[in-house]
Amino acid sequence: MKVRTRIAPSPTGDPHVGTAYIALFNLCFARQHGGEFILRIEDTDQVRSSSESEQRILEALRWVGLQWDEGPDVGGDFGPYRQSERAEIYKEHSAKLLDAGHAFHCFCSSERLGELRKEQMANKQRVGYDGHCLSLSDDEIKAKLAAGESSVVRMKIPQEGVCKIQDTLRGEVEIEWLQVDMQVLVKADGLPTYHLANVVDDHLMEITHVIRGEEWISSAPKHILLYQYFGWQAPEFCHMPLLRNPDKSKLSKRKNPTSILFYQRMGYMAEALLNYLGRMGWSMPDEREQFSLEEMIKDFDLKRVSLGGPIFDKEKLDWLNGNWIRDLSEEEFSQRVLEWAINKQHLDPAIPLIQSRVEKFSDIAPLAGFMVSGLLDVTEASFEHKKLDKDAVRKVLQFVSWQVDVLFTWDKAHIEEGFSGLAEAMELKFRDFVFPLFVAISGKAASVSVMDAMVFLGPDLSRARIRHAVEVLGGVSKKETKRWDKEYQQLNIKKNS
């Protein structure tokens, strides 16, 4: 049997370092066994998925040096590799489950489900579907379907006993069936949920080993049961420990830049980032810190992954990256710098911002140096303003930071709309409101348009600079965060996406 592994990102945001981390382990495992590594796009969530995000994920994974053998861009014998192009396949499979009595139509309204949820929470019961529609007769179901009543398809779940999951790293894991919800498999719009699409595709794409983040372990019983319902052999499951912030919380963009593009823009070497991700929970037999992808593949052993949550620590990454950089020859170094940002493709979008503001080429570096920098050397004094005192500046920056944390579409129109709404809600003149942002983003009180600069820098670096500015101004205490968060929630800001 040929080993086949996969990475199955959902294109709903920026390419996450966690995706590269899981992809790396899948790739190493496949390569070491002479197998294949597949990339599948899980875009069943039509509202949150976008082709731009898919594009960025593919580019980021390629940049970092992970190449797949089959995928939406390179093709393969098991395509299509984008779930949105496989709707018919899922329809066929959900029909099979319904026919065999393993799944059922559910007509419950969102109001009923909301009430049920409230009641269960009040009674401190497990929140989940109560099986209401299981008691419908065949005739009732037919009549409802014929009348065009909205419905979903749910899977049946045993009401007693335990599900035993064999996990490569954990051995046998038991989850009581009572803890497992009667999962929706097909939504009211006829599209599958992650669970159905994922299992069907892993089977049809002949995936032998599912190596994924541990947040999916609670879904494993549903998946194992689906394999049984279909009469298929389940793949081997391996749930990898999650990457964590230094405070042990789950790696999140609120605390740490999580986008691969951030690390690219900061000028980390792809090899060093990959090397660092390889060190997350895994070690070389001789424990050395610096190794290439080829070396990792050669010595790879999934069993040497340790389950303690690996800490993604930027200082450690900086140290490792420094080692990689110093190992380059001078020729390689200059070539890498050119590839990194001193090239036409990277600079072209900045030209319209710069050209009208300079008189000599030598004016470019002082004006636009911030565009090729990491975190800026700002101090408390940089933020002095005649109308806004330090606290007001801190507050503007903190509120903006909350706003851009959830800004989904990162373009000028959305950033501008968000800022003008926030300035108005905070009862500040726009000119005063954007002052701290100019300083945080460009290091100066006046520069190229701050919104254009944020688009150029991208979400993660912009967020990191705003967060850095808050820190420079003394940070925000826990108590203050609570108070301000409440205030922020109460501001009547027009919500954008």
Q: Which residues bind ligand GLU (CB under 6 A)?
A: 8-10, 42, 194, 198, 212, 216
Report d(CA 23, CA 7) in Å as an integer.
Answer: 5
Query: Sign of torsion, CA 276 277 281 282?
Result: negative
Q: Which of 193, 192, 154, 341 is nearest to 261 (CA)?
A: 341
* Minimum distance, C-beta of residue 95 to ligand GLU, in the bound complex (Å): 23
Q: Which is nearer to ligand GLU, 9 or 459 (CB)?
A: 9
Report d(CA 313, CA 243) in Å as an integer.
Answer: 10
For residue 162, the cross-strand partners are 176
* Minimum distance, C-beta of residue 190 to ligand GLU, in the bound complex (Å): 20
Query: Sign of torsion, CA 285 287 288 289?
Result: positive
Asked if residues 439 and 382 have their Cβ atoms less than 8 Å apart, the reply is: yes
Instruction: Classify 392 as helix, strand or coil.
Output: helix
Give residue for tokens 């799944």.
Answer: 103
SS3 content of the chain, % helix, strand, coil (to 5): 50, 10, 35
Q: Which is nearer to ligand GLU, 44 or 398 (CB)?
A: 44
* Minimum distance, C-beta of residue 275 to ligand GLU, in the bound complex (Å): 23
The tokens describing 195, both together, are 């669970």
Q: How many residues does the chain have?
A: 497
The tokens describing 330, both together, are 């001078």
Taking the CA of residue 455 as centre, how many other CA atoms within 13 Å lie in the half-sphere pointing to its CB? Answer: 15
* Minimum distance, C-beta of residue 76 to ligand GLU, in the bound complex (Å): 18
Report d(CA 383, CA 474) in Å as an integer.
Answer: 12
Give CA torsion, residues 90, 92, 95, 99, to 10 deg. -130
- Does 486 qualify as catalytic in the annotation? no
* Minimum distance, C-beta of residue 94 to ligand GLU, in the bound complex (Å): 18
* Minimum distance, C-beta of residue 194 to ligand GLU, in the bound complex (Å): 6
Q: Which is nearer to ligand GLU, 14 or 42 (CB)?
A: 42
Report d(CA 400, CA 419) in Å as an integer.
Answer: 8
Catalytic-role residue among 91, 118, 144, 253: 253
* Minimum distance, C-beta of residue 114 to ligand GLU, in the bound complex (Å): 26
Asked if residues 31 and 183 have their Cβ atoms less than 8 Å apart, the reply is: no
Q: Which is nearer to ligand GLU, 10 or 256 (CB)?
A: 10
Any idea which residues carry the catalytic annotation?
Answer: 253
